[in-house]
Amino acid sequence: MSDTDADAASTAESNALRTPIVAVLGHVDHGKTTLLDKIRGSAVSEGEAGAITQHIGATAVPLDTVSEMAGDLVDPTDFDLPGLLFIDTPGHHSFTTLRSRGGALADIAVVVVDVNDGFQPQTIEALEILQRTGTPFVVAANKIDTTPGWNPNEGMPIQATYEQQSGNARSRLDENLYEIIGDLSDEGFSADLYWRVQNFTKNVGVVPISAITSEGIPDLLAVLMGLSQRYMKEQMAVDVTGPGAGTVLEVKDERGFGATVDVVLYDGSIRADDQIVVGGIDGPIVTDVRALLQPRPNAEIRVEKRFDKVEEVRAAAGIKVAAPELDDAMAGAPIRVVRDRDLDDVIDEVEAELAEIQVSTEEEGVVVKADTLGSLEAMANALREAEVPILRAEVGDIAPRDVAVASTANEEKHRVILGFNVDVLSNAETELDESEVKLFDDDVIYQLIEDYEGFVEDLERAQQETVLDKIVRPCRFRILEDHVFRQSDPAVVGVEVLSGTLKNNQNVVKWEGNEPTRVGQLSGIQEQGEDVSEARSGTRVSVAIDGPTVGRQIDEGDELWIELPEKHAKILEQELSDDIPADELEALTSYLDKHRKRDPFWGK
């Protein structure tokens, strides 16, 4: 090869287009894994041996294989992109919150929705994350083969198989599809069946599929390729020979290698002798690649125990990196190859990206743990929106020190750990059992926050009830005519409670002009001959009042009030007005009005 040819080849390599990264997400059991397994399996059987490589947490499907699977819908000569890389991580859908240079790791996403079940909590959460990160997506309306009366046509494009169905099957499927389109509209997305969408930047395409029969999968691949080619070509231009940039998917121990990181490489390349900088719990980790490992071609990563060593991997790809000092590496953190760059510059770059995800904390708040940096960021955003302060936020499983930190909170509502997609270490279980710290854990962020908010509401309600129990409650009541049972020591009379709550052992006042006069103290309440501790508005009871004599201090037809201490009146008006019944609030307002006629600042 001449020097000119070598230069041309080098330039072509440095201007190569990388594979778009596709995230597949959706509610549990809606068919994400089945869809990926079908694409992977079809790719293996359709493609030539070795044409497809299943990397760490990712399935690479080359353009020729996409074309084989999609049939007439994808003509490889129309595309410059090399194919599609499907992210496939075991960690639920948390990879949707993994980052690359401040954005989402995925270039495009597929939200899988069961046509029969429609939107579920994880569907809605996935859409919120995609909206926040600005990631374009399509909806795969899965399980069309379960439509009553459906006659499957293996691997056929959706419109062709739809035309061959009975009228009943089509109308049932249409009903479910329009339900999904309506759900998308409720979440703020304009959507339609993909072949009716003119502009994919403004509308979401819905692709009906079956992950079991492969119907509609040709359409899904065609839409993903078309969107990537049309809207993302510039993003895909990378220098595949340059120093690599990627995101850590998972940190795992591998026998013989110790701690390793599973990485999705989205730019440049990584070689077996590179120096790398990886984001860690206590800052950037500088280390040297000991080995680049990938599962044997087409193996399922979750069960694969044997790996092949490779010398170099180019973007976009998944790869396992073995290197010393990786124990404190973080899922979701950046990884950068140093190569011919200044090490300090690369460290600064990693530090800058870590700082971008730094969760702002306060002196009082809850402890948050999440499985990846991206999940932590999504949790922090959601908590900020819910106005929940954060004391500490970290990636990783719940450890004893988290319990220790949470237990130092002053308020009970902050003696809490919120764990997203994480486990509790066994020694932390004991600490939790012996402490007052409450743990909330879930794999749906908004469900987690809803559970916590419910706990806070219950707590505040219980606290307010305790306060209300200790506070004198407002009440206005009237002595009934012909209901004097005893004139004095104590006076026993029948009364009607006009508004508020009449409670025993409270002082009773009577207003004369603008002045309240204390006339005695309630020493008993009876309803239909039975002793009761209180009576509510609208009831008639007999009461014993120590102090007055009927005919002197009080009389039939008199309106009487429970005497409110000024401090209690202030608390009721300013802090508890939302927590007392409307009639009690009415009694309070009338009582305050009477006092404020002679002293405008009374109870303020």
- Alpha-carbon dihedral angle through residues 554, 557, 558, 562, given to the nearest 10 degrees: 110
In whole angstroms, how large is the CA radius of gyration of the chain? 35
pLDDT at 15: 56
Residues 288 and 429 in one domain: no
Q: Does the predicted model carry a pTM greater than 0.85?
A: no
Assigned domain for 515 exists: yes
Let me know whether 482 and 575 are in one domain.
Answer: yes
433: left (phi over 0), alpha (psi -120 to 50) or beta: alpha
Cα–Cα distance, 40 to 59 (Å, whole number): 7
Strands (E), 151-214: 191-193, 204-208
Percent of the chain's residues with pLDDT above 90: 56
CATH number at residue 41: 3.40.50.300
Give yes or no: residues 82 and 225 share one domain.
yes
Separation between Cα atoms, residue 233 and residue 228, nearest integer Å: 7
Minimum mean pLDDT range among 210-224, 247-261, 296-310, 424-438: 296-310
Q: 61: closest CA among 75, 72, 77, 45?
A: 45
Same domain? For 294 and 392 the reply is no
Structure tokens at 397: 């499983």
Q: Which residues contact 412 (CB under 8 A, 6 or more apart)?
A: 436, 459
Task: Indicate if 59 and 111 belong to the same structural domain.
Answer: yes
Residue 238 lies in a domain: no
CA separation for the pair 328, 259 (Å, rounded) = 9
Instruction: Find, among 135, 113, 109, 132, the residue nearest to 123 by Cα.
Output: 113
Report how many domains make up the chain. 4
Task: Judge if 173 and 250 occupy the same domain.
Answer: no
Write out pLDDT tens, residues 410-449.
999 999 999 998 999 999 999 999 999 999 998 888 889 9
**Mean pLDDT, to the nearest integer, of 137-158?**
96
Q: Is the peptide bond before 490 cis (omega within 30 degrees of 0)?
A: yes
Residue 49 pLDDT > 70, yes or no? no
- The residue among 467, 489, 509 that closes a domain is 467
Residue 450: enclosing H or E segment and its boundaries? Answer: helix 445-470
| pLDDT at site 374 | 78
pLDDT band at 514 (very low <50, low <70, confident <90, very high): confident
What is the pLDDT, as a whole number, of residue 337? 98
Task: Say yes or no: 32 and 148 in one domain.
Answer: yes
Domain of 435, in residue numbers: 366-467
Q: What is the CATH number of the domain that holds 443?
A: 3.40.50.10050
Same domain, yes or no: 345 and 436: no
pLDDT in tens, 320-356: 999 999 999 988 889 999 999 999 999 999 999 888 7
Q: What is the mean pLDDT of residues 565-580?
A: 87
Condensed to tens digits (0 to 9), the pLDDT of residues 103-131 reads 678 889 999 999 999 998 878 888 888 88
Give the integer Cα–Cα distance in Å for 55 and 470: 65
- Choose one of 199, 231, 263: the last residue of a domain: 231
Are both 348 and 453 inside the same structural domain? no
Backbone angles phi, psi at 437, to 5 degrees: -75, 135
Residue with the bigger pLDDT between 28 and 57: it is: 28
What gap in Å lies between CA 286 and CA 337, rounded to an integer? 10
Same domain for 224 and 132: yes
Given this model, what pLDDT does residue 90 score? 46
Return the pLDDT at 47: 44
If asked whether residues 417 and 507 sit together in one domain, one would say no
Alpha-carbon distance 420 to 129, whole Å? Answer: 15
Q: Are 34 and 174 part of one and the same domain?
A: yes
Q: What is the mean pLDDT of residues 36-48?
A: 63
Residue 89 structure tokens: 């991580």
Give tens-digit pLDDT for 190-212.
999 999 999 888 999 999 999 99
Look at residue 295 in the predicted model and tell me its pLDDT.
Answer: 61
